[in-house]
A and B are shown apart, each in its own frame.
Chain A
Amino acid sequence: DTGVSQNPRHKITKRGQNVTFRCDPISEHNRLYWYRQTLGQGPEFLTYFQNEAQLEKSRLLSDRFSAERPKGSFSTLEIQRTEQGDSAMYLCASSSQGQMNTEAFFGQGTRLTVV
């Protein structure tokens, strides 16, 4: 296993189009997180899964955003009717649950540009 994988690495889309990103976590990890990062800021939490259950969603995640993790493995993040303000780096992370939370690892990110 080479770590957390995100696809695509870059996406340029026109305003109003829908986009979907994919995240493949480290295989034995049951927790998966999505974050958004804009220039000069730290990553902001979007949503979090444990196995296939979406346990928490940020208020940043408007109705145009939806995330799924149908079989508790890979996850998708879809943005509908994209706006220029959606331009950002979208980061995915995974970790495993034990008696304590364990170390999280991040993918390389998907950089979205809405024109």
Chain B
Amino acid sequence: GIQVEQSPPDLILQEGANSTLRCNFSDSVNNLQWFHQNPWGQLINLFYIPSGTKQNGRLSATTVATERYSLLYISSSQTTDSGVYFCAVVRGYSSASKIIFGSGTRLSIRP
């Protein structure tokens, strides 16, 4: 099956710093999403981005589907950005299309 790898696994930054999180996937995908998991465990939708670039405030994401990677950018980071960030992909259009997650990047923002 498709493999999803995220890097780095852990990232510690000072408040105000910028960061780039990477997601590589081993095969072509039709969907890609970025999530932030809050301290209570809920997955918060950040971007639905099978291709192209999107921006939402301090966050932006780019997916280059032909090269099988996606990047999540966080600018001017705040302590509330801390948590685990997951990339998740869907392989095909068929009716049986499960969502596959990477192992996540744990981001810690120090005040």
Contacts and interface: CB of A to CB of B under 8 A. Distances in A.
Mutual binders A and B:
yes
Interface of A: 33, 35, 37, 41-45, 48, 50, 55-56, 89, 91, 93, 97, 99-109, 111
Contact of B48 (A37, A50, A103, A107): A103
Given A41-B103, A42-B102, A101 B95 contact: no
Q: Is the interface of A mostly helix, strand, loop or mixed?
A: strand
CB-CB nearest 9 A-B residue pairs: A42-B101, A103-B48, A106-B43, A55-B96, A101-B31, A108-B42, A56-B96, A101-B90, A45-B98
B30 A101 contact: yes
A43 B50 CA distance: 20
A107 B44 CA distance: 9
17 contacts: A35-B99, A37-B41, A42-B103, A45-B98, A48-B96, A50-B95, A55-B95, A55-B96, A56-B96, A99-B93, A100-B31, A101-B30, A101-B97, A103-B48, A104-B33, A108-B41, A109-B41
B100 interface: yes
Contacts of A102: 31, 48
Nearest to B101: A42
Contacts of B50: 100
Contacts of A100: 30-31, 50, 93
